Amino acid sequence: MKQLFYFLITLFILVGCGGSKEKAVEDSFTSFVQSNNKVVAFGSIKVKEILTKADYTKIPKFGGLIATQLTAFSGSINLDKPVFLAAEGPFNKDGVPAALYVFAESKNQDSVTKKMKSLGYEMIEDKENKFSFYQDKDMTISVKESLIIGVFKPSTKDFKSILATSYKLSENEIKDDKIKEMIKSTDDIVAGVNLESLYATSNTDLEKLPKEKKDLVKAMMKSSYILNTVNFKPGEMVIKSQNYFSDELKKRIPLKQQVATNALKNLGTGEPRLGLLFNFDFPKLNSLFADLKLENELVGLTEGFTEAEIPFNEMFGDILNGQLGAVVYEESMAEGGLTPQTNVFVGLGKQGKEGFDKLKIPGLGLIQKDIFDTHALFYTSEDYKPNEEPIKVAQGCENFGSKPISGFIHLNGIPVEDFDPEGAYKFIEKIDYIYFEYGVDGGVLKLQAIDQKTNILKQSVDQALAQLSEILIKMVL
């Protein structure tokens, strides 16, 4: 892991601006990823733009150093373009990939070679394949014309052939596919996952499955991808996930597409501080378990919730219908202060109240409850039971419940310092709310700051520096 970190730092220190008359780095990277079926994850980082959003020039002491390095390496790497990364599987238990590739665009080959030599790195010339490279233990950094490729691969000695193959793959013709579309994303951070390659390179228990189960999993993973993006904006950070799933995988995801109307209507009344809602499709879940022949492995999972054992598919389908929600309110106390009050909604299946009465869930006798044929409601205060008006959610969280998984928490005004005497709460107290939602097609997580004018990345850097200064002062005292 230390070698991997050193490898990335060495590459990113070649920061600068420039231009290229050769094949664009994004096209070379696209060709490489499309031609390498071992790549399980790929993406890009807008290093220069992220530094700018963090307002690096105003960072005490470090701002001037970063600016100096940007100027010093202005003839090496074109960071008006993103830096691209690709990881080959399998990943080890520490999360380190079998190989990590970094692509960047240079001004020209000679400028990078000279800069590397000025840093004390002796470059080796491969005259046959027309590239120069530096090798140190588990990593190598190379340049050919306008393309820089860095490779981190543990326990490897022959980086020369790996680089030659990489440059060759990068010259292949680009195909119009999902990979090309994902790599063209213009977000601050882009991270794509190739589920088919991830499964193909996996050395986990999936490989121990019987052939029919492996064939089913393989069919679901075929041509399936996940695209994750991160954007830092004034006052907010937005993380999006977009699923490019095969039809076989999409139809088996055990999530309901429709809005959980009954749950929203019966969660309670008022304006909760926190909300969570799940809308699972248990028939799809049971069908998937049946196709994977996992029924025997599910026997006994319901033990402890009933007096007599209930089959898994009866518990999750006939008794419970997959809808589960919870909200937390703040109630003012007569003696002053606030106390949390909680409502929990549980959707019931076709067995209704009779089916729910079979359950013996620990702790239910200690909380108030109302049981109906369509749902069960548990609550700690009569004042927040549902009435004609559904719960009210604050601005920014209006979509709560529209996706099968969603939630929010409003942090503005919560006395978080009472729960965190160490000081980390100072990061949290600058946040207005966090909202997330997820469905078959993807989801979003949004972190909204109270200050909606300053880029959230700069706010984070400023707070981190203030926290560091406070720690240093305490150490001195």
3-state secondary structure 370-416: EECCCEEEEECCHHHCCCCCCCCCCCCCCCCCCCCEEEEEECCCCCH
Average the pLDDT over 438-461 and give the result. 92
* pLDDT score for 197: 92
pLDDT greater than 50 at residue 104: yes
Going 43 to 47 to 50 to 54, the CA torsion angle's sign is: positive
* pLDDT score for 444: 96
Q: Comparing 270 with 87, which gets the higher pLDDT?
A: 87
pLDDT greater than 80 at residue 80: yes
Q: Residue 191 — pLDDT band, cuts 50, 70, 90? A: very high
CB contact at 8 A, 315 and 302 = yes
pLDDT greater than 50 at residue 402: yes
pLDDT greater than 70 at residue 22: no
Please give the structure tokens belonging to residue 151: 């490779």
Q: Tell which residue, 103, 148, 81, 101, has the closest CA to residue 121.
A: 148
Burial (CB count <10 Å: 0-12, 13-18, 19+), residue 5: exposed
pLDDT greater than 70 at residue 365: no
Average the pLDDT over 1-30 and give the result. 61
Residues in CB range of 186: below 8 A, 6 or more apart: none
The phi, psi pair for 200, rounded to 5°, reads: -65, -30
Going by their DSSP bridges, the two strands 189-194 and 131-136 should be labelled as unpaired
Q: What share of the chain is helix, strand, coil (3-state, %, to 5)?
A: 35, 30, 40
**Rounded to an integer, what distance in angstroms lies between the CA atom of residue 349 and that of residue 41?**
40
Collapsing DSSP states into helix, strand and coil, what is residue 110? helix
pLDDT greater than 90 at residue 84: yes
Q: Residue 385 — pLDDT band, cuts 50, 70, 90? A: confident
Q: Residue 394 — pLDDT band, cuts 50, 70, 90? A: confident
pLDDT more than 70, % of the chain:
82
Q: Residue 446 — pLDDT band, cuts 50, 70, 90? A: very high
Average the pLDDT over 146-158 and give the result. 89
Average the pLDDT over 12-32 and give the result. 68
Please give the structure tokens belonging to residue 73: 């390496």
* pLDDT score for 109: 77
* pLDDT score for 158: 86
* pLDDT score for 205: 61
Q: Tell which residue, 193, 195, 191, has the closest CA to residue 240.
A: 191
Give residue-wise pLDDT tens across range 285-328: 999 988 888 777 777 777 766 767 788 888 899 999 999 999 99
Summary mean pLDDT of the chain: 84
* pLDDT score for 307: 65
Collapsing DSSP states into helix, strand and coil, what is residue 324? strand
CA 69 to chain centre: 31
* pLDDT score for 442: 96
Q: Residue 62 — pLDDT band, cuts 50, 70, 90? A: low
CB contact at 8 A, 236 and 452 = yes
**Rounded to an integer, what distance in angstroms lies between the CA atom of residue 103 and that of residue 79?**
11
**Rounded to an integer, what distance in angstroms lies between the CA atom of residue 392 and that of residue 26?**
46
Give residue-wise pLDDT tens across range 199-258: 888 776 666 677 888 888 899 999 999 999 999 999 999 999 999 999 999 999 999 988
pLDDT greater than 70 at residue 469: no
CB contact at 8 A, 88 and 152 = no
pLDDT greater than 60 at residue 423: no
* pLDDT score for 122: 83
What phi-psi label fits residue 413: left (phi over 0), alpha (psi between -120 and 50 degrees) or beta?
A: left
* pLDDT score for 16: 40
CB contact at 8 A, 317 and 286 = yes
The phi, psi pair for 279, rounded to 5°, reads: -135, 80
Least confident of 56-60, 185-189, 365-369: 56-60
CB contact at 8 A, 154 and 138 = yes
* pLDDT score for 20: 43
Least confident of 53-62, 175-184, 364-373, 438-447: 53-62
Average the pLDDT over 265-283 and give the result. 93
**Rounded to an integer, what distance in angstroms lies between the CA atom of residue 462 and that of residue 229?**
24
Please give the structure tokens belonging to residue 219: 């069919």
Q: Residue 477 — pLDDT band, cuts 50, 70, 90? A: very low
